[in-house]
Each structure stands twice: as C-alpha cells, then as structure tokens.
Chain A
C-alpha cells in the first residue's frame, strides 16, 4: 500500500487547487478485492489530477482488522473518508464515478 503515500510525496507545486488546503483522506478496503483495487487506482488518479500536492491518503485494510469497522463505523467498502478539510464526508464505492467523487471531496457542488 505504498502507492498513495508516494503520490503524496510526488505532489507538484503547479497543482490546480486554488488554496493551500490539505486533504486528509482515508480509504477503507478489504484486502485485494476487485472493488478495493479499483478504488485505490481511481482515487490515485483523481487525486493526482485535482489535488496534486495537497493530499495524504491512508489505506486501512478491514480484512486485517475487522473490529475497526465497528470503531470507525464502516459498513461498506470501499469507503473513502475525507477527514480534512471539514466537514467529514464519506464516499462509498469504487470511486469509478469521478463526478460523484469530486462532489464528495467538495471540489464540485453537490448535484441533485
């Protein structure tokens, strides 16, 4: 699970984000399930495109620690939790719908 952390390190100065805000993201997955793998890929792509240099991704594997699901209130995977900036948002799914992902990350206004 080193990919996302590398992406963080690779953040470039010329990213399109207008502010100096920092995105603290946590992605809950279950091992290497197809949904989990796709979500990681989709998240990395989207972050590189829209949040270059302004994000940090932490991957949590619930297969390794099932009890975290109760503590962190995670019912479904993949679940991406936007911890920062506030407010906290949860984006559920393999993040294949980029529009909805950007709505969840509050990079785009929520549509009906």
Chain B
C-alpha cells in the first residue's frame, strides 16, 4: 500500500476484504490468477477446475504443478486419465516445461492411467485402494505438496457402479485433505452443470470455471472463480490466453500495486510537455493520448519513440491504422526521422490490422514481440480502430490486457486513440492510464488549432493549463495559450491578441514617461519659485534692518543737536538732564 499508485477497484476491494485471519494459499505461478485469488489456491485443500473440451484446464493444472516444482519448491504428482505420460510431456514441451527433467529431479511424478472401459467387467463391490495407495506412496517418496487429478471424472465412465465411485471419491478427497496436499481436480463442463458427474460436491473450497467462446469469429477465453470459501476473490470473468509460456490471466483492471513504481522520469520528447508533467513520464507508466482527428496524437507517440531511440533504448510501435511506410513519411514531414531508428534496429514497427487476427492471436503476438525485442517504450497507435463494430467489451478487455502486458514488462507505454471530446467509451482504458493527455481542436476565426491538456497524471504534480500544440517542420512544440476574459485564444487569434497586448503595453509605457516628465518639471518649477521667495524674504529682511538702523541714527543726531544748542545758550546742567530723554 505504500506505493504512490492509485489503487484500483479490484485490489482495494480484495485488500479490504482479506484482512481477517489469512487463509494459507498456494500460488499457482500464474500472475493474474494469483492476483484475483489474492494469493493462489487454498493450501492443503482441493480446487476444482472445470470447463469444456479444449478450455485449457489441463494446461492450468500442469502449470500449477510446474510452477510449484520450479518456483516454490513444492514437488507435485500428476495423475492423468486422459493421455499417456509421454504425450503429456510432449504437449507442454513447446511451452518450455521439461516434465521429464522435473521427474528426473524428483520434483514431479506422472502417473497415467488408460483403462479401456470396454475391457472391464464388474462383479461385486470394489474400492480404489490401489489409487490411494499409489498416491500415498508417491507423496511420501518425493515429499509432494501438490496433486493434480486430470480428469478424475473419468472414473465414473470406467466403472458402472456409480454409487461405489461416488463413495470412493468422497474418501479420496478426505484422504488428500488429511495429507495436507494442495489438490487440483479437473472436471468436464456439460451444459449448465459445473461437471458431468457432479464432483463439485466433494470440492467445496474453490471452484474455477474456464470458458472458451467464439464471438464474431474472435476466440476469447475466460476464467471465473465461482466459489472460494473463506477468501475474497475477484468475481468477474477474466480473459486469459495461452501464450508461448503458458497460461496468462489478465485482470481487466490494472493491478498497479504489484508493479515496481519507478521514480525515474523519461522525456516525452517534447520539452515543454515534460515541464507540464513535472519532469517527464515515470518510467514504466502508461499514457493515454486521446483526441479528435488530426490533433497530432501520432506525432506525440513519434516524439516519445524518437526520444527513447535517441537515448539508445528500443521502442515498439504497434500501428492499428497505418502502415510503417506511411508513418515514416508522415513523421518526416514534421521533422522526425523514424526510418533511421528502424534501420538502426532500435525501432520495431508492427502494423496490426485489427481485422487480420483474432484478439487472442493479437495478444499472443504482442507478448512475443515484448519478449523478443524487449523494448523500454511502447506506443499503441490508433487503438480506437479496434473498437469499430459491435465487439465492445471483448475489445476493451483485450486492450486492457495489452496495456497490462506492457505495464507488467515495465515498458513505458503510450496509447493513442481517436475519441470525441465527450466520449466515455475510453473510460475502461483510461483507468489503466497513469497519465491522460487530451488533444482538442479549437475552431475560431476560420482556422483550427490544437490544444493539449493534461487530464491526469498519477503520482505527479502537473500543469492544469492548456497549451497550444503546434506542429512545425521540426516537430511538435507547445506554446502558451492566451487566456483572458475572451476565453482561450490560439493560432492567429493568439498572435493578434499578443500584438494588441504588446501595443497596449507600449502605450502604457509612454504615458508613464510623460507623467514622470510632467512631475519632474513641476518639481523644478516649484523649486525655482521657492528660490525666488527666499530671495524676496532676504531682501525684505535687509530692508527692514536698514530702516531700523537709520531711525536710531536720527534719534542720536537730534540729541546731539539739542546739547550743542544748550551749550551755546549756556543752559544749566539740571535742566539739560531733565530734557535729555525727549
């Protein structure tokens, strides 16, 4: 739970339900099956796998044994009533399972019983003690932890006394349980009944139903857990396929928790897009690019590939709509040379016309390509063309499986799809995507322009702004869009708006300068006036001092005149003194 990934419905549901006392499980080694059973089959108990002819039940049972022996150190015993031991080994040799080698190493024992009912005559009561004794002996000899009985129902056909067969099988399952081996028994599904002879009555712990259907000439295999006592399990029908390496069950919902979440970022090849995604895509993540026709979805894919190949990594391009030649030509027109990478062996292109293969085959080829070519980047271009026609659910789940396959292999995947803006048909796919980019055509002023949005980007900050997506002769570029009261402007509209803005800015600058000049002038004027006033003030002060000084001098002169006159008149000093201050 510590992973940064968002939990999907399936895993969170299972995690929530399975918190009680844990039922011990025996992993089947089939990743998808172990996921939907939250760990595998009930350990020490019996599981019934039932299905029609050719539904893959024997293969499932064998993989359970082979995985047990090879990966989990649990030797196994196979009791088959269907084929000879040699034939069983030969059938699975192509899957890389060396049954003979496992037998030599004491990790597997195969007991094949082929008894012709025509040569058996019944006379009185009997029991299956030899079979039980043989199982006991073998389990003890190799320390077996797993037992497969394929198909135990055969006993009903071989022995006419059904009452005895029934009672003996009940005894068999009790004995297996007492031995604490994890058993898998296969049954033949007939009509609506789970098994032809009703052996599900003995196997009450876990029942898995396999189904093989043809729909619109497309073969689809499905697996369903009908019952799993004491354990949470996925209840859907899960598609599976039989690949070159065995059974592959793919839960429709992606179980990202089990993938290593990389902190490593890789470039989308479009610098500003990397910036919008806070540094690029997480390595191994899945990007969905949806958009209307001609919005440049394929070009985004080509950029991702171009960037990967330029780093010397291998890229896989799966084309659902075009041929490799078309793609090389188209991308050259926007300055991306894909042909160079193809020649260098860094790019593998596969034109997968949806009509040419059944979906199973399609998936199997993809699996093969992933294994052989080991790309680090994968682009599924034009996946919507798969959804043409009435095959909806199958196709969606098939796509989900493709994406899951790539994701499981740690491949950074970009899936591009044609989708109208309000289209929800991609909802199933989009839940698998870590990042969802939407490309839109915006029509205004008689031209179409492209907008790119980041709808989601798990585990990462991302820009919520739209960018204009411009295709140039040197690739795609992202340009800021004008967002204002008039809405989002792109293309010429944006250019006009930008020019207008530039004009407005210029005008504003001039106005400011004029104001500054005016103010400065005002200050200078005021300062000048201030200087004049200061001069006036100084002049008036000087005048005032001058006038006062003259007045004092006139008083002194008058007094002097008076005393001179008194001296002349010989006036006595007293009268002279009295009259002095006047």
- Asked if A and B are interacting partners, one says yes
- A→B interface (CB under 8 Å): 28, 30, 33, 35, 38-39, 42, 62-63, 66-67, 69-70, 73-79, 87-98, 100-101, 103-104, 110
The chain B residue with its CB closest to the CB of A38 is: B124
Residues of A within 8 A of B128 (CB): 75-76
Contact yes or no, B124 A94, CB < 8 A:
yes
What distance in Å separates the Cβ of B73 from its nearest Cβ neighbour in chain A? Answer: 24
Contact yes or no, B130 A92, CB < 8 A:
no
Residues of A within 8 A of B155 (CB): 75
Q: Does B20 contact A (CB under 8 A)?
A: no
Contact yes or no, A93 B122, CB < 8 A:
yes
What distance in Å separates the Cβ of B191 from its nearest Cβ neighbour in chain A? Answer: 28
What distance in Å separates the Cβ of A84 from its nearest Cβ neighbour in chain B? Answer: 15
Binds A, one of B109-117, B410-418, B465-473: B109-117
Contact yes or no, A70 B129, CB < 8 A:
no
Q: Does B21 contact A (CB under 8 A)?
A: no
Contact yes or no, A77 B124, CB < 8 A:
no
- B→A interface (CB under 8 Å): 111, 113-115, 119-131, 133-134, 136-137, 155, 158-159, 161
Beyond A33-B129, A97-B123, 19 additional pairs, beta carbon < 8 A: A30-B133, A63-B133, A66-B130, A69-B130, A69-B131, A75-B155, A75-B158, A76-B127, A77-B126, A77-B127, A79-B126, A79-B130, A89-B119, A89-B121, A90-B115, A92-B121, A93-B126, A100-B123, A101-B121
CA of A101 to CA of B126, assembled, Å:
14
Contact yes or no, A67 B137, CB < 8 A:
yes
The chain B residue with its CB closest to the CB of A64 is: B133
Question: Can you identify 7 A-B contacts, CB atoms within 8 angstroms?
Answer: A70-B134, A75-B113, A75-B131, A76-B129, A77-B130, A95-B123, A97-B122
What distance in Å separates the Cβ of A67 from its nearest Cβ neighbour in chain B? Answer: 6
CA of A70 to CA of B85, assembled, Å:
11
Contact yes or no, A75 B133, CB < 8 A:
no
- Residue of B120, B126, B133 near A69 (CB, 8 A) is B133
Contact yes or no, B127 A66, CB < 8 A:
no
The chain A residue with its CB closest to the CB of B141 is: A67
The chain B residue with its CB closest to the CB of A28 is: B130
- Residue of B119, B124, B134 near A67 (CB, 8 A) is B134
- Residue of B114, B125, B159 near A96 (CB, 8 A) is B125
What distance in Å separates the Cβ of A79 from its nearest Cβ neighbour in chain B? Answer: 8
Given that A75-B128, A76-B128 are known contacts, is A93 also in contact with B137, CB under 8 Å in the complex? Answer: no
Residues of A within 8 A of B115 (CB): 73, 75, 90
Given that A67-B137, A73-B113, A76-B159 are known contacts, is A101 also in contact with B130, CB under 8 Å in the complex? Answer: no
Residues of B within 8 A of A39 (CB): 124
Residues of A within 8 A of B161 (CB): 93
Residues of A within 8 A of B124 (CB): 35, 38-39, 42, 93-97, 100
CA of A70 to CA of B114, assembled, Å:
10
CA of A110 to CA of B160, assembled, Å:
15
CA of A101 to CA of B127, assembled, Å:
17
Q: Which of B113, B115, B125 has the most CB of A within 10 A?
A: B125
What distance in Å separates the Cβ of A36 from its nearest Cβ neighbour in chain B? Answer: 9
Contact yes or no, B123 A93, CB < 8 A:
yes
What distance in Å separates the Cβ of B130 from its nearest Cβ neighbour in chain A? Answer: 4
Contact yes or no, B125 A94, CB < 8 A:
yes
CA of A93 to CA of B113, assembled, Å:
18
CA of A91 to CA of B120, assembled, Å:
6
Residues of A within 8 A of B122 (CB): 91-93, 97, 100
The chain A residue with its CB closest to the CB of B110 is: A70
CA of A87 to CA of B120, assembled, Å:
12
Contact yes or no, B130 A76, CB < 8 A:
yes
Residues of B within 8 A of A75 (CB): 113, 115, 128, 130-131, 155, 158
Contact yes or no, B123 A104, CB < 8 A:
yes
- Residue of B114, B119, B126, B137 near A76 (CB, 8 A) is B126
CA of A66 to CA of B128, assembled, Å:
12
Residues of A within 8 A of B134 (CB): 66-67, 69-70
CA of A93 to CA of B136, assembled, Å:
22
The chain B residue with its CB closest to the CB of A88 is: B119
Residues of B within 8 A of A30 (CB): 127, 129-130, 133
Contact yes or no, B126 A78, CB < 8 A:
yes
Residues of A within 8 A of B133 (CB): 30, 62-63, 66, 69
CA of A75 to CA of B318, assembled, Å:
53
CA of A87 to CA of B158, assembled, Å:
18
CA of A100 to CA of B125, assembled, Å:
12
Contact yes or no, B131 A93, CB < 8 A:
no
Given that A33-B127, A66-B137, A92-B126 are known contacts, is A73 also in contact with B114, CB under 8 Å in the complex? Answer: yes
Residues of B within 8 A of A104 (CB): 121, 123
Residues of B within 8 A of A101 (CB): 121, 123
Contact yes or no, A35 B126, CB < 8 A:
yes
CA of A79 to CA of B129, assembled, Å:
11
Q: Which of A89, A91, A96, A100 has the most CB of B within 10 A?
A: A91
CA of A96 to CA of B119, assembled, Å:
19
Residues of B within 8 A of A67 (CB): 134, 137
Contact yes or no, B111 A100, CB < 8 A:
no
What distance in Å separates the Cβ of A112 from its nearest Cβ neighbour in chain B? Answer: 12
CA of A90 to CA of B115, assembled, Å:
10
CA of A73 to CA of B80, assembled, Å:
12
CA of A37 to CA of B113, assembled, Å:
26
The 9 closest A-B pairs by CB, nearest first: A104-B121, A93-B124, A96-B124, A69-B130, A100-B123, A94-B124, A66-B137, A66-B133, A93-B123
